[in-house]
Chain A
Amino acid sequence: MKKKKGNRETYLRIFELIKPYWYLIALSLVFALVSVALTLYAPVLTGQGIDLIIGKGNVDFDGLVPILIRFAIVVGITAAAQWLMNLCNNRVTYHVIKDIRVQAFNHLEELPLKYIDGHQHGDIISRVVTDVDQFSDGLLLGFSQIFTGVVTILGTLIFMLTINLSITLVVVIITPVSLFTAGFIAKRTFSMFQEQSKTRGEITSLVNEMVGNQKTVKAFSHEEEAQEQFDEINERLRDCSLRATFFSSLTNPTTRFVNGLVYTGVALSGALIALRGGITVGQLTCFLSYANQYTKPFNEISGVVTEFQNAVASAARVFELIDEEPQVAEDAGAVVLTPQMADGRVELENVAFSYSPDTPLIDSLNLSIRPGERVAIVGPTGCGKTTIINLLMRFYDVDSGEIRVADIPIRHMTRDSLRTNYGMVLQETWLKSGTIADNIAYGRPDASREEIIEAARSAHAHSFIERMPEGYDTPVSEAGGNISQGQKQLLCIARVMLCLPPMLILDEATSSIDTMTEVRIQKAFAKMMKGRTSFIVAHRLSTIREADIILVMKDGHIIEQGRHEELLERKGFYAQLYNSQFQQTV
């Protein structure tokens, strides 16, 4: 019952989406009516023609000519109406799917990070791309076939009735059989299709793992085991794919057979009635062609209905994404934090946060940073270092407590203005497809080429960029395959260098840049960090040693805080961490 209601809601939503294009739909309906009516009228004319051609020496050419002329005109108009109808349908469908896709994408930009981090990206992508596509196919088919189909069935019925009642009854009685068999087969095969797609899914994920990580498979000589595992699923796939293909392909011949029965029924009853002079031979041929036209939409509709159901299911998945609650709206009077205002003071007061309620991560975190201070966050993996970044940037909102920048609670600022005041280089480098210059200018799209080169120079990226085949215009391929990890990080640094915001967040930024460059980078960073409040999640002692404050984190708490020397003297957790690095190991 509940599902029914959900479906109805989806239909309503689809209707809402289509509404702006109502005039096109109306036009399409008119053209459909015209084309169907005329399509049905054509056999009448053919029949009349045949009736005038009775036998040797008995052909009424004078009567035939006007009929043929009328026939030609009817055909011309029908074709035109069909074409225009298709155009309208195309237009509506493609506009609607563009609308829904853009809506879905725009919503992605509004969703809280919590949603994006917590869901498989592949799943979200398939909603925006594949599901929308599936929806468009179904919509187009629904428009062009269901509507014309229904009109055709009604139209043929009326036309047939005008010719002869009893033959019409024969047709009406036999056709449901075709519908019934098609439905029966579809229901039976559905589970087989499900099994097939499940097995396909199994094989895809195995291939994903084994082929995607083929190098590891080879390193452990695991090829034979993988092949065995693969063969097992593959054999199962053979069986269920045979079943699904065979049983689903039963629909067509079976319904065709039933149609044959209808056809025979018409021929028989028609011939018998013609014997008594109830109808003419021309009317009989006309009837036979109606019988064909009448049954055709039934066959198609059963196919279209499944397609349409898929489309609705897909639409529901897209709507689900669109309905996902967006991040908390900004205050009406939210402050726009300008770089002038951001003096570098950052305070955390009694901050508590956790990703899921049952595993508390950070609680009662207090911290006060003066302008220009350099804060190093250290601690074992999983202690909550990156979480602090998430909170500072307001990717996630604190559960309780408050974070203030320049004395203004960040909850009362616009997110954008807060974030543009931080320069961020993350551990996982991200480059957009586009040229190298585009990527460096990502934070300031209006930057001139000179400024871009200057930024690249100070990030020590200029020399390797120059060596690329097209210099700054070298395209960065997806995931940056043509650029090494270290180089990617240099680009990310250059990207921040170009904006030079008043505060910095560096997340193990230099961990995979080669040591030579790192020296220079650190000098550049030192220059950049001068006068700027900086948070650094670091593993490197050299970075840590220069920090004004070291926050030593463990299990979500800051357990020690102070300068390197102070902390060493305290002989606590930090001292332990530090010394363990230099134990005699070999």
Chain B
Amino acid sequence: MLKLVRYLKNYKKESIIGPLFKLLEACFELLVPLVVARIIDVGIRNQDIPYILKMCAIMVAFGLLGLCCSLTAQYFAAKAAAGFGTELRRDMFAHINGLSYTELDKIGTSTLVTRMTSDINQAQAGVNLVLRLFLRSPFIVVGAVIMAFTIDVKLALIFLVLVPVLSVVIYGIMLLSIPIYRKVQGRLDKVMLMTRENLSGVRVVRAFSRQEDEMRDFEQESGGLMKIQMLVGRISALLNPLTYIIINGAVILVLWAGGRTVDMGGITQGELAALINYMSQILLALIALANLIITFTKASASAVRINAVFAQKADMKEGSGAVTGTGTAGKQVPKVAFDHVSFAYKGNKESLTDINFKAMPGETIGIIGGTGSGKSTVINLIPRFYDAAKGAVCVDGTDVKDYTYRQLRKKVGIVPQNAVLFSGTIRENIKWGKPEATDQEIEEALIIAQAKDFVDSKQEGLDTKVSQGGKNFSGGQKQRLTIARALVGKPEILILDDSASALDFATDARLRQAIADRTEGMTVFIVSQRAASIKNADRILVLDDGRQAGLGTHEELLENCQVYREICLSQLSEEEVKR
């Protein structure tokens, strides 16, 4: 939590004024019992009605002043907390934008989302509460004890014993119950997981007729949740009765000892009443503090999770943009060159070993191999989503590490394996590839991507709404739109990462034809599992378990690459292989 305090630095004024006014308000509250004591001791005893009226007026005035102070405090606290949340959120979003794929893989995007939303909200609520109440409660406790001392030192000693005993009980119960609350949360997560699983796997559950078992498991899990909730309920149910006993035990003591003191003339009757009043103020303050601590523990747990994101530093350094190798050598320079590249995902064994090939401008390169053979990894190195461990990846003769991200990624149009669309319109989605694209350019891209027909068939055409994640489009439609998005910026390098998997083979074939016909000079990488999709490429890179098993044309590879031959024969008939 402390690390996040810096987000309050623009709100120094607010964070000081807030608690300060809260303390002022507490002062007024602490004075009230003394005023009442005066009424009893002076007013009633001396039958002084004007005095009583005066004292009551003072009480109302104190109340009004307290109200004003408190409102001021609330306002500044709310302002500081809202500012805190806003700046924290902005920074975190920017930080996430700056992370590289390696860190994203490590943290996982779904937890990033919860950290950005609910954790920050939690922290913001914590700050708000702390600014308002954190100083107030201890202040009231200390203040009440001091007031007690001003009344009578010996009787105040009872207070000195009472406060620690109460604190031990309240915080003891909290210490006991907080870890159990955490367990409750864990159980609740499990219940949520089971529900989610049963929804996403509804077909499988029913296909295997396992509904009854699932119900039984769920009942068991919720039963477990219930037991642990009751356990923690039993513990926290002790809080009120125990504090009630302690505080009233103290009242008995005060009455007894106070009676003696009054008898000896040490204090007055009204002062005795004031002492009892302070007692209940202490109790209320301590209970408020206990609630506050619960919120605060939640907030600091969130703060830890937030800080963990900030601690995640991008380990790739962006290049300066001073590009050296272009131009002069003209056509001789390969568009993309892998120079003995090896790569390993963080903490894993090498997943690419010694990849070495060149793609000349305008060439189409097919990449084929089994699952986990490293196909996607190879193409992820081109726009520098990851850095090679050994060797270098060059685009236009310059190491990708020397480009700025924007420079490099502008050259590359990538169509990722799972088609992701964003909420907005079709037009807005396509424009991701080129923010200033005209409708004509968009149409052109849609034609190549074989998406024009179905976009035209929509009533609103390019303005058709895309819901979050593109849920209102079929898998094949989404894939074609993502292809159009990559094409619209006329990238120099186009990467299709198994992006036609949801297309039927007729559409897939038309798509490849269109890319070949209409995108002159574009270097194209096609990653696929289907031999038919890549067999006509200029060159084919065959990967097997992260190693380069072959490189050449279809015919060459059939001649001399065992792995490639096996792939082809498994998918195509003898006659088709030769066609």
Contacts and interface: CB of A to CB of B under 8 A. Distances in A.
Contacts of B537: 586
A424 B203 contact: yes
Contact of A516 (B192, B223, B370, B509): B370
A3 B104 CA distance: 47
Contacts of A121: 196, 199-200
B513 A227 contact: no
Contact of B97 (A90, A223, A284, A499): A223
B90 A56 contact: no
Interface in A23-46: 42, 46
Contacts of B432: 220, 222
A245 B244 contact: no
B475 interface: yes
Contact of A49 (B110, B255, B433, B571): B255
Nearest to B128: A245
Interface in B113-147: 113, 116-117, 121, 124, 128, 132
A109 B211 contact: yes
B56 to A, nearest CB: 4
Nearest to B233: A90
B473 to A, nearest CB: 10
Interface in A206-228: 207-223, 225-227
Interface string A473-489: 00000100000111100
Given A56-B262, A59-B259, A512-B371, A219 B195 contact: no
A105 B52 contact: no
Classify the secondary structure of A's interface with B. helix
A218 B66 contact: no
A369 B163 CA distance: 84
A381 B255 contact: no
Contact of B205 (A109, A208, A582): A109
Interface in A174-193: none
B67 A254 contact: yes
A58 B263 contact: yes
Contact of A380 (B199, B422, B504): B504
A422 B207 contact: yes
Interface string A226-245: 11001100110111011001
Contacts of B308: none
A455 interface: no
A83 B44 contact: no
A436 to B, nearest CB: 15
Contact of B202 (A75, A116, A204, A238): A116
Given A78-B244, A254-B67, A582-B579, A207 B93 contact: yes
A210 B203 CA distance: 30
Contacts of A540: 571
A6 interface: no
Contacts of A415: 206, 209
Contact of A583 (B71, B414, B509): B509
Nearest to B197: A432
Nearest to B238: A83
A515 B530 CA distance: 9
A128 B197 CA distance: 13
B252 A71 contact: yes
B9 interface: no
A271 B477 CA distance: 83
A307 to B, nearest CB: 15
Given A381-B474, A424-B204, A542-B570, A211 B112 contact: yes
Contacts of B505: 539, 541, 577, 580-581
B82 A242 contact: yes
Nearest to A47: B273
A46 B113 contact: no
A442 B263 contact: no
Interface in A569-585: 576-577, 580-585
A528 interface: no
Contact of B113 (A98, A211, A250, A382): A211
Contacts of A567: none
Interface stretch (A256-264, A356-364, A398-406): A256-264
Contacts of A15: none
13 contacts: A54-B269, A72-B248, A128-B191, A211-B112, A213-B109, A219-B414, A234-B90, A252-B70, A253-B25, A275-B47, A381-B474, A420-B207, A514-B370
